[in-house]
Amino acid sequence: MQQTFSILSTPKFITGRGSISFLTSLGKKRIGIIRGGRSYNDNLKEKIEMLAAESGAKIQYLAEIRNEPFIDDIFKCMDEVRSFEPDMILAIGGGSVLDTAKAIHLFYENPDMKFEDALIPFTLPKLGKKAVHVSVPTTSGTGSETTSVAVFIDPLTQVKKLLLDNNLIPHYAVLDADLTESLPDSIRIATAMDALTHAIEASTAVNASVMTRAIALESSLDILENLSDSLNNCQNANVQALSREKIHIASAMAGVAITNSCTGLAHSYDHPGPAFSKAHGTVCGLMLPYTMGLCGAQPSYATLATRLGYQGNKKELSQHLIEHLFRLRESLSLELTFEEMGIDRKEYFNRVETWSKVSLDAMATVVSPAEMTIERGIELYDSCYYGKRPDLTSPIFMLY
């Protein structure tokens, strides 16, 4: 029998400035912390330790993740995790930290499980019998606090390995915008671009529900309308604070959207990032308007453009949104091409055909509204390198 319903999978959200204090309400007594480097500063450390003392809890720092996580980052702390026996796994940091905490929680509660077994999608056991998982993002972009995915790098092959199951979604996501205040603008912009890409791509995924699209559209709009005011040059402190909180919430909403549908072409074709050591959000944000051209005129693009004040038919509105994204990047002094990013042309184009082949079978490509081929993938990479902007009103795009 065909399934006629969908379930929206999310953590329990705790929101508001100062909401980190929620930790004391859970009554847990052994808190194992996975933290980041830059974001976990002395003030935050003091705050967490004070909250633990108030609730009579012991804390132990189990792992510190400073870069993209490797598989080894999970297992090198497992002896300490099992010895401490936490009843709360507390992750505080960016996406790499939050992903690592998901895996640590999984293997802590399932000590006999092998990493290779965990790679089979949607086969992981329910978590929570030993510890509750609380995820506290300190950046506004990855949405990892809401997602069913954890990504790790194989140290030998440098290939990314994916854990995928809704049971990996943390029990609680604490969205405290106070924890983002120390971010430099460069990280604030890069992570926001990642979240914006999540949201816009989720809005067009063919497996998205009406509810998922609604969440994705609101997330997209909040980022588009508030990113500039969230930066350090905003002269109005109240406007800046509200904008930062809206983007922090929007990032989580975008995570919910991709968890319950999928990402799109900017994510499945984002190979230049790891190949040339460029940040994920930076690469996805650059590729987004080019990939939107391949998707063609979409109702969600037209909706966003209309809400941004543009007029026209669906194709014209979709084109307006693409151009709006290019102008936004220009206003933020972001590169518009991989050439401007300093990526070596010869090395880049030597890999383009391989990237185009391996991207075809990715789930994000399959659920995209674009009809991709190896040739169209090569064209996409060519456009992203040289800045050949899509024009949905031209005869070429009318043929797709």
Q: For residue range 325-345, what is the model confidence (pLDDT) as tens digits?
A: 999 999 999 999 999 999 999
Rounded Cα distance, 150 and 140, in Å: 17
Rounded Cα distance, 395 and 278, in Å: 34
Question: In percent, how much of the chain has pLDDT > 90?
Answer: 86
Tens digit of each residue's pLDDT (9 = 90 or more) over 237-276? 999 999 999 999 999 999 999 999 999 999 999 999 988 9
Check: CB of residue 372 under 8 Å from CB of residue 358: no
Residue 393 confidence (pLDDT): 84
The CB-side HSE value for 189 (13 A sphere, CA atoms) comes to 19
Same domain for 220 and 367? Answer: yes
Residue 192 confidence (pLDDT): 96
Q: Kindly report the average pLDDT of the chain as a whole number.
A: 94
Higher pLDDT among residues 36 and 286, named by residue? 286
Residue at 217 is within a domain: yes
Same domain for 332 and 387? Answer: yes
Residue at 5 is within a domain: no
Which domain CATH number covers 128?
A: 3.40.50.1970
Same domain for 104 and 211? Answer: no
- For the segment 156-184, the average pLDDT, to the nearest whole number, is 91
- For the segment 217-231, the average pLDDT, to the nearest whole number, is 98
Residue 133 confidence (pLDDT): 98
Task: Grade residue 2 by pLDDT with cuts at 50, 70 and 90.
Answer: low
Task: Grade residue 212 by pLDDT with cuts at 50, 70 and 90.
Answer: very high
Task: Grade residue 351 by pLDDT with cuts at 50, 70 and 90.
Answer: very high
SS3 category, 88: strand
Question: In percent, how much of the chain has pLDDT > 70?
Answer: 97
CB within 8 Å of 356: residues ≥ 6 apart: 269, 374, 375, 376, 377, 378, 380, 381
For the chain, the helix, strand and coil percentages under 3-state DSSP, each to the nearest 5: 50, 10, 35
Which domain CATH number covers 331?
A: 1.20.1090.10
Same domain for 336 and 196? Answer: yes
Beta bridge partners of 149: 164
Residue at 28 is within a domain: yes
Domain termination site, one of 157, 180, 203? 180
The length of the chain is 400
Residue 36 confidence (pLDDT): 87
Quickly list H helices, 111-184. Answer: 115-118
Higher pLDDT among residues 89 and 394, named by residue? 89
Dihedral pair phi/psi, residue 30, rounded to 5°: -135, 100
Q: Nearest CA to 147 among 179, 178, 170?
A: 170
Query: H/E/C letters for each residue in 324-340?
Result: HHHHHHHHCCCCCCCCC
Q: Is the pLDDT of residue 397 over 60?
A: no
Q: Is the pLDDT of residue 398 over 50?
A: no
Token readout for 55 is: 């609730």
Place of tokens 């499980």: 113
Domain termination site, one of 164, 180, 196? 180
Residue at 6 is within a domain: no
Same domain for 126 and 190? Answer: no
Other residues' Cβ atoms within 10 Å of the Cβ of residue 80:
13
Same domain for 277 and 293? Answer: yes
Rounded Cα distance, 398 and 243, in Å: 38
CB within 8 Å of 81: residues ≥ 6 apart: 32, 62, 104, 108
Rounded Cα distance, 99 and 77, in Å: 15
Q: Nearest CA to 79 among 96, 91, 67, 63?
A: 63
Same domain for 292 and 362? Answer: yes
Dihedral pair phi/psi, residue 91, rounded to 5°: -105, 125
Token readout for 251 is: 């990032």
Same domain for 138 and 234? Answer: no
Residue at 3 is within a domain: no
Same domain for 101 and 190? Answer: no
Same domain for 21 and 169? Answer: yes
pTM to 2 decimal places: 0.94
Rounded Cα distance, 381 and 283, in Å: 12
Q: Nearest CA to 393 among 318, 303, 304?
A: 318
Check: CB of residue 135 under 8 Å from CB of residue 23: no
Q: Is the pLDDT of residue 156 over 80?
A: no
Q: Is the pLDDT of residue 157 over 90?
A: no
Q: Is the pLDDT of residue 400 over 50?
A: no
Q: Is the pLDDT of residue 159 over 90?
A: no
If one counts the domains in the chain, the total is: 2
Same domain for 76 and 200? Answer: no
Residue 366 is part of which domain span?
Answer: 186-398
Residue at 86 is within a domain: yes
Task: Grade residue 399 by pLDDT with cuts at 50, 70 and 90.
Answer: very low
- For the segment 155-169, the average pLDDT, to the nearest whole number, is 86
SS3 category, 172: strand
Task: Grade residue 117 by pLDDT with cuts at 50, 70 and 90.
Answer: very high
Q: Is the pLDDT of residue 396 over 60?
A: no
Same domain for 194 and 123? Answer: no
Domain termination site, one of 159, 180, 201? 180
